[in-house]
Structure 1
């Protein structure tokens, strides 16, 4: 049976899954020409291997706790915390406990000039930054 996706203008319930999390599965909520929205469900100890997306993404933890790893950082995320990644950034997810996250993928063509400017801006903000993964704690 084909999965139906939300249509433009359709209301989508994004409340935390709560007790339903134990039986929940990953679901594509929106699949449009320039945008995808996926509720990723991972049970404790399960992971999504290293991969990248063709467009910019956001990952919003809605339930449980997940670790989002990139080549330069590891973010332990709790409900309400969000991470943005540029197109092509390698990342992996690990469920510390049963968890769910909303993943938004922009499928628009990337702007190489904007990406270069953003990278330069981040380099200026982190003078002397050490390469390699680091654990970031919620502040």
Structure 2
């Protein structure tokens, strides 16, 4: 799935869990919007992103850790994470998250921590669609 073009309608709910994959919905220089599909028991280890995050749990349940505490997010819950704040998560059920990243400007050619972390967080058999990108 290619990121949406301006004005293009996007379906954020996957057709079915758990066979769906994480994907980039919108990607610009200042904004990334991702649909993350997290299977029950899946752990994404602690990492940080170069910008402010809005994590919305669309369905399912996850344990999300940041700001020195862990809390459960379920369908309909939203969480704000400050710029570069370390965070991690674990799927408590098969879950779908909408992740909005308001990117902090970085040097030309630098690989985004979001891209780098994503490459490390997903098994090789289930890579997200945005791996390996650089800023040109």
- Bucket of the pairwise TM-score, normalised by the shorter protein: 0.7 to 0.9
Contact 2:47–2:86 (Cα < 8 Å) also in 1: yes
Is 2:39 the counterpart of 1:14? no
CA distance in 1, matches of 2:96, 2:2: 20
Q: Which consecutive segments of 4 or more residues in structure 1 shift more than 4 A?
A: none
Match of 1:66 in 2: 62
CA distance in 2, matches of 1:52, 1:104: 14
What is the CA RMSD across the aligned residues, in angstroms?
Answer: 1.7
1:4 pairs, out of 2, 13, 23, with 2
Cα displacement string for residues 8-44 of structure 1 (whole angstroms, at most 9, x for unaligned residues):
11111224x4x70110111111111110000111111
- Bigger fraction of residues in helix: 1
Normalising by structure 1, we get a TM-score of: 0.71
CA distance in 2, matches of 1:67, 1:47: 9
Is 2:70 the counterpart of 1:56? no
CA distance in 1, matches of 2:6, 2:99: 18
Match of 1:46 in 2: 42
CA distance in 1, matches of 2:53, 2:30: 12
Match of 1:103 in 2: 99
Offset at residue 87 of structure 1 (A):
0.6
Match of 1:85 in 2: 81
Q: Secondary structure at the match of 2:17?
A: helix
- Bigger fraction of residues in strand: 2
Structure 1 spans left out of the alignment, 5+ residues = 110-139
Normalising by structure 2, we get a TM-score of: 0.73
Paired residues, what number? 106
Contact 2:66–2:81 (Cα < 8 Å) also in 1: no
